[in-house]
Amino acid sequence: MKFSLTWLKDHLETEASAAEIAAKLNAIGIEVEGLEDPADRLAGFRVAKVLTAAPHPDADKLQVLTVDTGEGDPLQVVCGAPNARAGMKGVLGLPGAVVPANGMELRKSAIRGVESNGMMCSTRELELGDDHDGIIELPEDAPVGESFAAYHGASPVFDVAITPNRPDCMGVYGIARDLAAAGLGTLKPITMPAFDAQGPCSVDIRTDDPDGCPAFFGRVIRGVSNGSSPDWLQQRLLSAGQRPISLLVDLTNYLMLGYGRPAHAYDLAKLTGAVVARRAQDGEQVLALNEKTYTLDHTMTVIADDSGVHDIAGIMGGEHSGCSESTADVLLELAYFDPDRIGATGRKLGLTSDARTRFERGVDPAFLDDGLDLLTALILELAGGTASEKIRAGSPPSEPKVLAFDPAQTLRLGGIEIDPNEQQRILTSLDFVVDASAMPWQVTAPLRRHDIEGPADLVEEVVRIYGLDKVASTPLDRSDGVARPTATPEQQAERKLRRAAAAYGLDEAVTWSFLPPAHAEHFVAEGEALWVLENPISEDMKAMRPSMIPGLLAAAKRNADRGASGSRLFEIGRRYFRNADGSSDERPTLGVVLAGEKDARGWSSGKAKGFDAFDAKAVAERLLAEAGAPVDKLMVMGEAGAQFHPGQSATLRLGPKTVLARFGALHPATLKAFDIDGPVMAVEIFLDAIPARKGGGTFARSAYAPPALQSVMRDFAFLVPSTLAAGELVRAVKGADKASIVDARVFDVFAGQGVPEGKTSIAVEVVLQPGEKSFKDEELKAISERVVAAASKLGAELRA
């Protein structure tokens, strides 16, 4: 939020400098993100008077001016503005000045052969407005030679960040109140100009949605003149980053930015019948002020008349009923809307505005009457007209919170001892009502302070105003010697796994923990419930992810859409579920997506090569091994899930029921749901299913000790049923003699001529490692017999 020092001093009597105010704002919890002085940008520009104006000798649209700068001899300036004439006063940029609009540094130069010693400036060139039809014309009493920044009253501009719990500071007056409480000046009371209301309001105003709009106040003003705003008003809006539009619109924006109270002005001639706050009907549409059409539903509150919807309540007005230069009669509206309803509507529509920012955080329900009267008085003063009596439909929340507060809690919770009288002064200066006649105190919070819920909040108010810098820094106790590691075994395992995945050539991605509901539902396993947020940051991202794969798929798609030939992505994070009893659950998981080209095309390889299911299996086994899983004991089984291709996917299990990972090609229906061209391989490793290391040891490798004797290799060729997985055969072979067999691997698979139908020939290389002495022939023969016997239990027979 931005505001000028001049605007702040409208409400705060202070002699503090801009730097001192910025320091105090930071000290009381209102972070200053920027402090800019427009006078710095206007350095080198002065008030000047045009003495003479003559045609340029070599250009029809240019004039040669002599300009009095108030110092020394007049300067010659070439100017192309049509309104330049002798006797007028304007703004002259001298050589060395930098034009704010384009960053151009002015220099003495020749224009069509005539020397020019500067530039007469327009409003747009100095970024003071949009007018560029001519140069700025100043009043006759403008002092020639004075710095234009000083004459214009350029004021430093603060840019502050207001946390969501402080809607009371979403207006300049609220910030002035905090500064006054902190001792940086005196808060000026809001001046309520008197005016006479003439007759009842001619428009019926009511609220038919008391839940979404508990209070709807309004009145009619007839005979207004909606022209340009006065300079003081435009300057305040410009300092806040708002573009002045028209007097009526500017005044509603002034009330919102100055007092945190959004309001709306309707052109009465464009309304029909009663004006009502009600629920929208499903499918109703409204053309908003941002020139976009929005489709509404029954959960949204709107402002409508007999002809239809005119306003998305608390968020944005409609284009049709907005004020224009021809507006003569207006209906003013100030309302209190339910913050939750405003937030939900804004997220559904994807619509943000300054009004929504304030309403969904909670505006001051006690400022409806005064806010409407203040806006009315400003309109009557600046735009003329006659005002009707106000209509109050419904009533805003009016029950304040009363908290029991012991001032001793400030020391206990805040770590600083503050005199109870000072605590009472601070709370009172913030408009809390303190009854200190008994202990504990009874403290009544102002209605605008929606963030005050308990005594700890009162401690925070006291400490921040008293001075956070006065809280002593006290080091925490720690034992002597080297600090103990703080990472848990699970965190250490994830760090190791992250490094291993990166070393394997995968790129780490960090994706959202929430997904579009359609994507999340696609990956929910049978028997599991989706975890849906009640208050998401966006309606399109309200489901917590049940799998790591959807987020990685979306990242791979973005890469492909931007020309990436391939993606090798991984992420370590959490999957989220709702249990049957309603409780939440999260599980650590590693996800991998391999998409696009594995190897680029080349003169030796020909076409580019993509990833396949075996690449996914290799990744899964490699990372499982790094995570400490007993890879040599894992079983390869099916049922990877409906999201995977049934013929090109599998699971890795430790026993029939414990699934450690799933891998393979994603199902074409999954790729279609994510609008991705396939094939795409995916891996998901369930880190919580990996058994813990015995003894809780670290992941450091033991020292390598090579065997003293050379290993022996033997090859076996078996005829096995075609349905038998090669992994089962290898596992059986390894288990035939665990003391001697250190490894086994498949090196040939053949089916066809010479192999009986329904059979497959699988050749296995077995590595035997002798211990203290070399194998004898009879020992090797015995081991071979045990290998054949183990394979025969699976229906395998040694091939002749």
Which CATH number do you get for residue 303? Answer: 3.50.40.10
Residues contacting 745, CB < 8 A, separation 6+: 730, 764, 765
* Annotated binding residue 461: yes
pLDDT band at residue 702 using 50, 70 and 90 as cut-offs: low
Least confident of 161-165, 552-556, 701-705: 701-705
Structural domain span for residue 8 = 2-37+156-187
**Both 518 and 571 in a single domain?**
yes
**Both 165 and 146 in a single domain?**
no
- Residue 12 domain-assigned (yes or no): yes
CB 12 within 8 A of CB 188: yes
Least confident of 138-142, 359-363, 373-377: 138-142
Task: Give 693 or 394, the one with higher predicted confidence.
Answer: 394
pLDDT tens-place string over residues 585-641 = 899 999 999 999 888 877 776 788 899 999 999 999 999 999 988 888 888 888 899
- Residue 265 domain-assigned (yes or no): yes
519/522 Cα distance (integer angstroms): 5
* Annotated binding residue 688: no
**Both 372 and 266 in a single domain?**
yes
**Both 645 and 616 in a single domain?**
yes
**Both 506 and 640 in a single domain?**
yes
pLDDT band at residue 485 using 50, 70 and 90 as cut-offs: confident
CB 608 within 8 A of CB 601: yes
**Both 683 and 741 in a single domain?**
no
Rounded to an integer, the average pLDDT of 479-494 is 82
Rounded to an integer, the average pLDDT of 104-112 is 92
**Both 89 and 112 in a single domain?**
yes
503/347 Cα distance (integer angstroms): 41
Domain boundary among 343, 376, 394: 394
**Predicted local distance difference test score (pLDDT) of residue 369:** 93
CB 726 within 8 A of CB 629: no
- Residue 368 domain-assigned (yes or no): yes
**Both 21 and 61 in a single domain?**
no
**Predicted local distance difference test score (pLDDT) of residue 647:** 87
pLDDT at 202 over 70: yes
Q: What average pLDDT is seen over the chain?
A: 91
**Both 371 and 510 in a single domain?**
no
pLDDT tens-place string over residues 772-799 = 899 999 999 999 999 999 999 999 999 8
SS3 for 277-344 is EEECCCCCEEEECCCCEEECCCCCEEEEECCEEEEECCCEEECCCCCCCCCCEEEEEEEECCHHHHHH
242/516 Cα distance (integer angstroms): 34
pLDDT tens-place string over residues 401-445 = 999 999 999 999 998 999 999 999 999 999 999 999 999 999 999
Least confident of 137-151, 177-191, 366-380, 428-442: 137-151
Rounded to an integer, the average pLDDT of 326-343 is 94
**Predicted local distance difference test score (pLDDT) of residue 482:** 78
pLDDT band at residue 701 using 50, 70 and 90 as cut-offs: low
Domain boundary among 134, 152, 170: 152
Q: For 11, what's the count of Cα atoms within 13 Å in the CB-facing half-sphere?
A: 19
570/369 Cα distance (integer angstroms): 58
364/262 Cα distance (integer angstroms): 10
Rounded to an integer, the average pLDDT of 312-321 is 92
**Both 14 and 57 in a single domain?**
no
Rounded to an integer, the average pLDDT of 485-499 is 88
pLDDT tens-place string over residues 45-103 = 999 999 999 999 988 889 999 999 988 889 999 999 999 999 999 999 999 999 988 88
Rounded to an integer, the average pLDDT of 725-742 is 89
- Residue 700 domain-assigned (yes or no): no
pLDDT at 648 over 50: yes
Which CATH number do you get for residue 754? Answer: 3.30.70.380
Domain count, the chain: 6
Which CATH number do you get for residue 589? Answer: 3.30.930.10
Pairing state between β 402-405 and 441-444: antiparallel
CB 192 within 8 A of CB 370: yes
* Annotated binding residue 460: yes
* Annotated binding residue 778: no
**Both 239 and 360 in a single domain?**
yes
**Predicted local distance difference test score (pLDDT) of residue 694:** 64
